[in-house]
Amino acid sequence: MSIEIHTLWDLVVRNLLRPDRPEALGNYQGGDPVWTGSHELFVSSVSLCQGLFEQIRKGEPIGLMGLPCPDWIAIDLAIQGAGGISVPLFPNTSPDILKRQVQKAELKRIFLLESISEEQAKQLQDLIVYTQESVLLPEIPQRQPFPKGIHPLTLESAIKWASHRANDLASNQRATIIFTSGSTGEPKGAPLTHNNLVSQIHGATERFPMGTKDRAISFLPLAHVFERMVTYTYLAQGVNILFVHQPKVLPRAMRDFSPTIMTAVPRLLEKVYRTISSRAEAKSGLPRDLARWALHLALTHHTDAPKPHLAWFGADVLAFGKMRDALGGKLKMLIVGGAPLKKSLARFFTNIGVPTYQGYGLTECSPVLAANSPDSDRPGSVGTAFPGVHIRIDLLNNEVIAKGPGVFDGYLDGDRGCIDEHDWFHTGDRGKIDDDGYLFITGRIKERMKTSNGKYISPAPIEQEICLHPWIDQAMVVAESRPYVTALLCPDPDQFPQTLTQTLEETPEHHLSPHQMEDFQKHLNKVNAKLNPWERVQKVQWLPSPFTVESGELTPTLKVRRHIVLKKYLDLIEALYNT
């Protein structure tokens, strides 16, 4: 029996009526995964929903903070099934931002699932209705494991109650409030309805068909709308999911679990490529030459062009097969979103046998507006419009504007400034659409910089090119109202020369040996050779530590908060222009 999905609660009913999958959702922290069966998970979700239904008012916002895990899914759906509004919060959000989000969403209850800072815990202690033992701090009193009145149900009673509850939920009800990343300012609450999110499930199912034989690794935050929507889609199609929230164990999880599908942000792909490249350079003689040749082939060969048979066979035996094995060996779809992906990297992963598809969207759009897929792919683009979505380019400033069932109706504070009088949502991104309907994002309107000479700079493509050097983990271009372009560089601690790392810990000044300077300058020269004269990076400044979420320099979705970085490193930036 197949249940049509009209609200997110229908995902619960659908999974309860399916045969049980004992290894449906798992937690992985480096040892053996801890699995939760599909019936076990969704019966617990219905049990919690039944208890909440008796205690909360319709439309009440309820917070949910924690690292990705099966319990997160169960509680999220229970809140929405009870008629509440689930408000996910990032565990690594700074205490100040967390406080403002709690106030804006008017939260009176919150579920805590994983460890948070002591300061955060003190802020939230009066709101806690549930917490796992591992997150309890000595200063925080023990809370009820669930609201009073929660009783575990049998499978039969859970199916009956969940089906009855499904009939009372409307698709136009608010399901969640998600706070935007805040990369250009204060995060804003974006309310989304069941229909907004369900439209994404239907669109993703059409673009990326999957089944019960598929296995997914999920390591992006579920508080991020992209991973949350993808996870809903996995649940709709019966895909087994392994949650991994420690980056250091991700490589082992890939090898042990052998996923067939996963989602990622470009930064992960950049790190993987840098690791592969640095290992190739660590070889010597003929092995290094062959590794370089294979990498060059994967980076430059057009994916839609015929593959040279003998050369490809040799590259696959020598290099590509080993690269696939390091990623589990069975990946058939790697879906990338959250930020622009370099065309060469999309080409690289697809050419080594890991088909990579880039999409595009925003929190306010639930989030996907366009995506490449196995049936429709053009590297360098973000794909064609998602099912039901209409995309145009505003001729006034080449801004991407959109309509569709996933687009929200305005922010929590009532601001609808991003929606014009004809109900087109203005994304704030510049773009173009080719004759075949593929969308290309060419820059961010707010992030477009103007030098003091009147020349415009788009920083993201320059930063992506710089970060291909194995030493560099993050880069931020500086150019606004400046006479020339400079860049702040954060070293990758795993790849950076040890002597330079020690120097940077003592002082953020630029100290390189002559050989190291020559090596990095060659890379910078290659980057600059692709740019217009006014876009070229003239000076760089190494920073003593990476940008982090905890410091406020990154959003929880790992976008750089430029205004924060500019303020923090103002003296170093001024030195780049005064010496």
Domains along the chain? 9-192 (3.40.50.12780), 376-446 (2.30.38.10), 449-578 (3.30.300.30)
Q: Within a 10 A sphere around the Cβ of 231, how many other Cβ atoms? A: 24
The burial class, CB within 10 Å (0-12 / 13-18 / 19+), for 284 is: exposed
Say what the pLDDT of residue 511 is: 55
> 174-187, pLDDT tens digit by residue?
999 999 876 566 78
pLDDT band at 121 (very low <50, low <70, confident <90, very high): confident
Distance CA 44, CA 346 (A): 40
Structure tokens at 229: 């929507």
Question: What one-character-per-residue DSSP string does 114-182 give?
Answer: S---HHHHHHHTTTEEEE-GGG--TTSPP--SS-TT--PPPHHHHHHHHHHHHTT--TTSEEEEEE---
Computed from CA positions of residues 517, 522, 528, 533, in that sequence, does the dihedral angle turn out positive or negative? positive
Average pLDDT over residues 268-295: 89
* Helix, strand, coil percentages in the chain from 3-state DSSP, rounded to 5: 40, 20, 40
Q: Within a 10 A sphere around the Cβ of 295, how many other Cβ atoms? A: 21
Comparing 89-98, 316-325, 364-373, which segment has the lowest mean pLDDT? 89-98
Residue 432 contacts by C-beta under 8 Å, 6 or more apart in sequence? 393, 398, 439, 440, 442
How far out from the chain centre does Cα 56 lie? 31
For all residues of the chain together, what is the average pLDDT? 88
Residue 506 contacts by C-beta under 8 Å, 6 or more apart in sequence? none
Quick check: 157 pLDDT over 90?
yes
Say what the pLDDT of residue 131 is: 66
Bridge partners for 449 per DSSP: 457
Distance CA 411, CA 177 (A): 9
Quick check: 323 pLDDT over 60?
yes
Say what the pLDDT of residue 454 is: 79
Quick check: 545 pLDDT over 90?
no
Give the whole-number percent of the chain exceeding pLDDT 70.
92
Average pLDDT over residues 287-309: 90
Residue 184 contacts by C-beta under 8 Å, 6 or more apart in sequence? 446, 447, 561, 562, 563
Average pLDDT over residues 17-34: 91
> 415-443, pLDDT tens digit by residue?
888 999 999 999 989 999 999 999 999 88
Nearest CA-CA partner of 556 in 361, 408, 338: 338
The 3-state secondary structure of 435-468 reads CCCCEEEEEECCCCEECCCCCEECHHHHHHHHCC
Average pLDDT over residues 290-310: 90
More confident position, 483 or 447: 483
Distance CA 229, CA 222 (A): 9
> 352-402, pLDDT tens digit by residue?
999 999 999 999 999 999 999 999 999 889 999 999 999 999 988 899 999
> What H or E segment, with its residue span, contains residue 26?
strand 25-28
Backbone phi, psi, residue 476, to 5°: -135, 120
Quick check: 495 pLDDT over 80?
no
User: What 3-state class would DSSP assign to 476?
Assistant: strand
pLDDT band at 149 (very low <50, low <70, confident <90, very high): low
The 3-state secondary structure of 522-571 reads HHHHHHHHCCCHHHCEEEEEECCCCCCCCCCCECCCCCECHHHHHHHCHH
More confident position, 5 or 271: 5
Nearest CA-CA partner of 113 in 141, 71, 84, 81: 71
Q: Within a 10 A sphere around the Cβ of 356, how many other Cβ atoms? A: 24
Cβ-contact 294, 319 below 8 angstroms: yes
Q: What is the DSSP letter of 317?
A: I
